[in-house]
Structure 1
Amino acid sequence: MIAKKKEMDPKYARLAGEDAALAVSHADGGFVARLDQIVEAAGGASGLARKAGISPSGLSRYLAGGEPSRRVLVALADAAGVRIDWLARGVGAMRDGDTPPLPGSTLRLLPLMPGHDRHPKTGKPQSDFTAQAFCYKWLNDNGLDITSLKVMTVRGDGMAPTLCNGDTVLIDTQDRDIEDGRIYLLNESGNMLLRRLHVEAGNRIRALADNPQHHAFVQDATEIEIVGRVVWRGSVL
């Protein structure tokens, strides 16, 4: 007796093909960055999870690199109002009607730090400005992990002339270990400050402004809250 190979129902074959087409791409860490972007736009992970009908712990798992199912991808895309192909693979425009990226583009969107979606000159909110594009190959070549980077616009002259008002900086939110003389983003009672840190005796940290008109302050290392380290600066000459 010759066994016959059972053919897959066309309906399930089609779904399997769709699942393969929507396989999440982790090759460049882009999915986590895109997921982080829609989390920021939703006002936080709990809000996005609630709207998508998934558990906060499940969303945290995906933000840490876990791979969601097709059903979860659809729910997240619908909740955020983005195209599922963009969310899953970074293909095409973020939303219907948006201008898609160039074919074969190496550009990836990095999310803005919360509160930094305002125009650098007018200070007015820009609801359509939630991320900025960078070449992920350039980032990788310079040892920068796309999944831990956030974009920030410099406000004020505290770090001038090194960092001037309106400059763009990249913050590595995973790099919180203090290296003497480097510039870090600090959270001082809800206020975000860019300061150059120096380690002193007695486990004390001196936070310096490059602009001499701004005063330095000293804190115990256990009391200072570091958001991340400045790893790149861009400015208009």
Structure 2
Amino acid sequence: MNSYTERLSWAMNELPQAQGRPAVGQTELARAVNVKPQSIQYLCDARNQAKGSRQTAAIARYLGVSADWLATGAGAPLGAQPAQNGMPNVAAVPPRPLAVWDNEDELDPDVYVFIPRLDVKAACGSDGKVMWEIDQEGQRNAFRRRWAERLGIRPDNSATIVAEGDSMEPRICDGDSLVVDYKQTTIQDGKIYALSWQGEFFVKRLYKEPGGVVVLHSDNEAKYPARRLLPEHLAELEIIGRVVAVSGGV
């Protein structure tokens, strides 16, 4: 990792995933260190050959890495044990939380929790609302219990769905498995939700603005501009649930 951008990308993506945590998105990091999302986007784009940032100390603190390492590449990423065999000093990658099986009886319920799928159907009828239901009959996904408990996942209130498209990249990629808590329908500023609006299904980060305005924000905002829903249009908005976990490939 010879460049600032490479080190920043590693600290935002590979490090948290190696520690069993979700990757950190550009918008999340920008809000955490009080800069515009475009500033973080600039630092993350290798074509800009960024040499650093005045916010490096704050960025490093939020990401849990050494500020000196992030700024210069000197020392260990976590500011503790030196790297060994050319590899950063990170904790061993935990087992993947998602398991595949032929029959639930093959898995130990003390080790795994089982979560059904969220079935979303296209809008029909005059109200233009997306139809959704929890598939209680089909095969469920199994997640390691310790992983689910660490993330606060409540299996009895949750369902899984596969993400489609690139509007939430880099935080959520096409094909990622999402865990949705369908009991959490009250908007918390900056959290990601599965939702229906005007007969379409979306996964978006939501923000509240004065006057009752709700903003549907895409992390890939350069390609997908935010949508501001005025109070008179909120009747067309249905919050299905909050996305509480993401599981994907590398």
TM-score (structure 1 length as normaliser): 0.49
TM-score (structure 2 length as normaliser): 0.47
